[in-house]
Amino acid sequence: MEKAVIFAGFGGQGILLAGKILARAGMNRGLEVTWLPSYGPEMRGGTANCTVVVADSPIGSPVVDNPEALVAMNAPSLDRFEGRVAAGGVIVVNSSLVKRAVKRHDVRAVPVPANDIAAELGNPRVLNMVALGALVRGLDVLPLEAVEEAMEEELRGRGRDKLIELNRRALRRGFSEAEKYLA
Amino acid sequence: MSVEAAIPEGYVKVFSKPKALSDAKYTYCPGCHHGIITRLVAEAIDELGILERTVGISPVGCAVFLDRFFNCDFVQAAHGRACAVATGIKRARPDLVVFTYQGDGDLAAIGAAETVHAANRGENITVIFVNNGVYGMTGGEMAPTTLPGQRTTTTPLGREPRLHGYPLKISEMLAQLEGPAYITRQAVFDYRHIVRAKQAILKAFRNQLEGKGFSLVEILSTCPTNWRMTPVEAGRWVAEHVVKVYPLGDLKDVG
Amino acid sequence: MSRVLMRGNEAIAEAAIRSGLKCYFCYPITPQGELVEYMARELPKRGGVFLQAESEVAAINMVYGAAAAGVRAMTSSSSPGISLKQEGISYIAMARLPCVIVNMMRGGPGLGNIAPAQGDYFQATKGGGHGDYHLIVLAPSTVPEAAELVRLAFELSDRYRVPAMILADGMIGQMMEPVELPEPVEPEDIPERPWAVTGAKGRPKNVITSFDLEPEGLKEMSLALQETYREIERNEVRWEEVETEDAELLIVAYGTMGRIAKTVVRLARQEGIKVGLLRPITLWPFPYEPVRELAERVRTVLTVELSAGQMWEDVRLAVEGRAETPFYGELGGVVPSPKRILEEVRKYVG
């Protein structure tokens, strides 16, 4: 098993953190993982993306041609990466910001209004966890609990403890949102 | 190490070579003040009893052979980098006494950045800065410290400040910084000045032992060979002309 | 030992601290900023010295001083900064001081960009500064291997009194992977340094120098250095082979490209193309013999690099006409995907 995810969106949407939490969850469950960010000036205010590979054997390339999943948090990200997703893969789209439908018919589209759900949960910043929850369901490699644990590890003791429960709710909401399309 | 000859009865020993100096012959030209300055540093090391924990850093230039003359540990540095090398040694081993010995081309031209920043950090090191206004070893080229009008092999018509810049008063510059503890300019063209220079060198080492920080002793020196002068003329030149551009005395002293 | 998710830059810093690093001197440059920041945060807490120098030149000369004083010392930078350090590296090499230099390569020449590149191969393996010298050059292809090779770099550097370089690129610096960090070394495990300048007490003075005005003297120093290099070439060549047994085409690639090539080998074999990989781990000393032996058995030796063909020269020296030796490289910080490389492979098979 070797699966790759591209997380893409605006800088500030928590893309890199979402990817890191997925990678940490994989590591904690004994899998091999790589987390490869786009880096440089574009991190500051422009678009950001990272590629996470999760596998049960050593990973060769962290650079991936055709990922099994894409999380597109804005329209430019969908435009840029939609064509690259492997056939049979999954595309989680932040439908709060992306007003068009996924064009591909050989992938499973999961539209999730991440901004709206996050606002509804009381903190617009947890939109990344909403999307990650949906991705976890779509990727179907790791249980949601593993990702929740990894999220806790990531936030604990860094002045963000009080955000853990909120983020947990966001992950779960995203997961159940995806359920609608994938069940 | 030198072998102490027995003193015949009735004789009193009034002069001997410092223990910090080896038997190696100086490579300095006759009449050059480097010989005096090197000896003063050795005397200071003797008097402070720090030979066994001192590390010297030799520059590129006429003092490049310094490690031969001294009996303490030595590191030979790239041109201008002595203060950075000294920083590395002192930070690794603060218990050592670390000094650099650099000429004006080395310290004030190619090594200006290393010098300024070591001073600004207040590195607890001692810097002996020998200023003779030329690149001695490479053939008497213009240094940043060369006097206006002075002929060198790269200013054959004399240094023209509009073309070649003005004499760089790096000690005055360093004295403006918060970091240094002690910046002074001395000369060794006569006995009176040699005694004062010796006191300044002692103080610069004592400052380090007391943890006061960066201490630099600039010493105006001669280069009879490249100045095309006799040693006596060269000494007089310092006393009459060089000191007018580079006035002697303490520029900074935190006490 | 538990695994930690770390960036390459951070894993290198932590591995260095655990390898007994005492003094680290640096100047900020992307893409190795995290290494500098990690050191600033961690090294002073753990009894070491962190100092941000005024320049790359000063930083390497501080390493020269600290290494001369007998402690484990290191600096890190990226391509343009490593160019500036070459003066100091040349002095360190001739003065026989152990130290570790990390180069997180970026696009060049000139200011280039901050994307991953491998354009500093010549500089790293053929000397880089003036004079006849080499560094021991270690090229990790993963984050855990980077941590491992940092420890090895300190050990080899101490053993031979030759500076060692970790030659990686921005991708390895920036990416995260699970790492099993090496156990901290005990101070008594670090070799004695009787040559260091520690104060001439109860022994003759020590002098650290790269200088001898007499040709015969300098020749002797140089020959001693060369003798050490021959010894390193005999003992320390390291490489990895993947599926080379029945390979008809051999890819030679290092670092980031080495790991991407592993995926290429897998994809090619899924298509029935017998591809193998030789990944040099030591770039100096280069694995000439292993490449030569494999060249006897394959038809094609394809060199893949993020350069215009620098390691390619060493590959051709090794192959010496035994196989065809095509080259595929990318420039400017472009990293080819496995499929792109596979296209190159297909050109030479069938």
Q: For residue range B90-114, what is the model confidence (pLDDT) as tens digits?
A: 999 999 999 999 999 999 999 999 9
The residue of C52, C92, C193, C207 whose CB has the most chain B CBs within 10 angstroms, and thus the best one to mutate to test that interface, is C207
Which residues in chain C are contacts of A35 at CB distance < 8 A?
5, 175-177
Sequential DSSP letters for C228-276: HHHHHHHH---EEEES-TT-SEEEE--HHHHHHHHHHHHHHHHTT--EE
Give residue ranges of C with CB < 8 Å to any A CB: 3, 5, 30-31, 113-115, 170-171, 174-178, 259-266, 335-340
Q: Across residues B125-152, what is the average pLDDT?
A: 97
Q: Break chain B into its structural domains and give their ranges.
A: 34-253
Which residues in chain B are contacts of C87 at CB distance < 8 A?
78, 81
Inspect the interface and report whether the beta carbons of A39 and C262 lie closer than 8 Å. Answer: no
Inspect the interface and report whether the beta carbons of C197 and B64 lie closer than 8 Å. Answer: no
**Is the pLDDT at C248 greater than 90, yes or no?**
yes
pLDDT digits (tens, 9 = 90+) for A147-177: 999 999 999 987 888 899 999 999 999 999 9
**C-alpha torsion sign, points A149, A153, A156, A161:** negative
**Is the pLDDT at B243 greater than 60, yes or no?**
yes
* B29/C contact by beta carbon, under 8 A: no
3-state SS class at B97: strand
* A42/C contact by beta carbon, under 8 A: no
Domain B34-253 has CATH 3.30.70.1530: no
* B73/C contact by beta carbon, under 8 A: yes
Candidate from C31, C114, C263 with C-beta closest to A61: C263
- Quote the pLDDT of residue A44: 52
Which residues in chain C are contacts of A37 at CB distance < 8 A?
174-175
Q: Across residues A74-82, what is the average pLDDT?
A: 95
Touch between B and C (at least 3 CB pairs under 8 Å) = yes
C-alpha closest to that of C338 among C259, C281, C274: C259
Q: What is the CA radius of gyration of chain C?
A: 20
**Is the pLDDT at C313 greater than 90, yes or no?**
yes
Which residues in chain C are contacts of A62 at CB distance < 8 A?
171, 175, 259-260
Query: What is the DSSP-derived secondary structure letter of residue A105?
Result: S
pLDDT digits (tens, 9 = 90+) for A83-102: 999 999 999 999 999 999 99
Q: How far does Cα B215 stand from its chain's mean position?
A: 12
Q: Please, what is the Cα angle at A94 between A91 and A100, to 5 degrees?
A: 80
Percent of chain B with pLDDT over 90: 94
* A29/C contact by beta carbon, under 8 A: no
pLDDT digits (tens, 9 = 90+) for A103-124: 999 999 999 999 999 999 999 9
CA distance C60 to C55: 9
Inspect the interface and report whether the beta carbons of C260 and A61 lie closer than 8 Å. Answer: yes
Which residues in chain C are contacts of A61 at CB distance < 8 A?
259-260, 262-264, 337-338
* Peptide bond just before A67 cis, omega within 30 deg: no
- Quote the pLDDT of residue B255: 84
CA distance B66 to A3: 64
Nearest CA in chain B to C87: B78
Which residues in chain B are contacts of C68 at CB distance < 8 A?
75, 85, 88-89
CA distance C272 to B231: 86
**Is the pLDDT at A49 greater than 60, yes or no?**
yes
**List of chains touching B (3+ CB pairs within 8 A):** C
Inspect the interface and report whether the beta carbons of B92 and C57 lie closer than 8 Å. Answer: no
Confidence of residue A47 (pLDDT cuts 50, 70, 90): confident
Touch between A and B (at least 3 CB pairs under 8 Å) = no
| Residue keyed to tokens 């049979």 | A88
Confidence of residue B7 (pLDDT cuts 50, 70, 90): confident
Confidence of residue A45 (pLDDT cuts 50, 70, 90): low
**Is the pLDDT at B13 greater than 90, yes or no?**
no
**Is the pLDDT at C5 greater than 60, yes or no?**
yes
Inspect the interface and report whether the beta carbons of A34 and C175 lie closer than 8 Å. Answer: yes
Percent of chain C with pLDDT over 90: 99
> Which residues make Cβ contacts (< 8 Å) with residue A38, sequence separation at least 6?
A47, A48, A49, A50
- How many beta-carbon contacts under 8 Å exist across B and C? 134
Distance from CA of C337 to the nearest CA of B (A): 43
Candidate from C3, C113, C260 with C-beta closest to A60: C260
Q: Across residues B125-133, what is the average pLDDT?
A: 98
What are the structural domains of chain A? 2-182 (3.40.920.10)
Q: Exposed, middle or buried, B234 (CB in 10 Å: 0-12/13-18/19+)?
A: buried
Which residues in chain C are contacts of A33 at CB distance < 8 A?
5, 176-178
Nearest CA in chain A to C175: A36
C-alpha closest to that of B68 among C68, C195, C96, C205: C205
Of C268 and A160, the structure prediction assigns the larger pLDDT to: C268
**Is the pLDDT at B36 greater than 60, yes or no?**
yes
- Give yes or no for a contact between C98 and C67, defined as CB atoms under 8 angstroms apart: yes
Pairing of strands B182-187, C100-105: unpaired
What are the structural domains of chain C? 4-199+223-235 (3.40.50.970), 240-347 (3.40.50.920)
- Quote the pLDDT of residue B6: 82
Confidence of residue A42 (pLDDT cuts 50, 70, 90): very low
- Quote the pLDDT of residue B1: 47
Q: Across residues B155-168, what is the average pLDDT?
A: 97
Computed over every residue of chain B, the mean pLDDT equals 96
**Is the pLDDT at A11 greater than 90, yes or no?**
no
Candidate from A39, A59, A65 with C-beta closest to C174: A39
Confidence of residue C137 (pLDDT cuts 50, 70, 90): very high
Candidate from B76, B90, B92 with C-beta closest to C210: B76
Residues in chain A: 183
pLDDT digits (tens, 9 = 90+) for C196-228: 999 999 999 999 999 999 999 999 999 999 999
Sheet of C164-169, strands arranged across: C49-52, C23-26, C73-77, C100-105, C164-169, C136-138, C282-284
- Quote the pLDDT of residue A55: 98
pLDDT digits (tens, 9 = 90+) for B186-201: 999 999 999 999 999 9
Inspect the interface and report whether the beta carbons of B81 and C61 lie closer than 8 Å. Answer: yes
- Quote the pLDDT of residue C23: 98
Neighbours of C42 (CB within 10 A): 17
Distance from CA of C197 to the nearest CA of B (A): 6
**Helix boundaries (H) for chain C:** 8-18, 33-42, 56-68, 79-94, 121-125, 143-160, 170-174, 215-235, 255-270, 288-295, 311-319, 338-347
C-alpha closest to that of A50 among A75, A78, A96, A17: A17
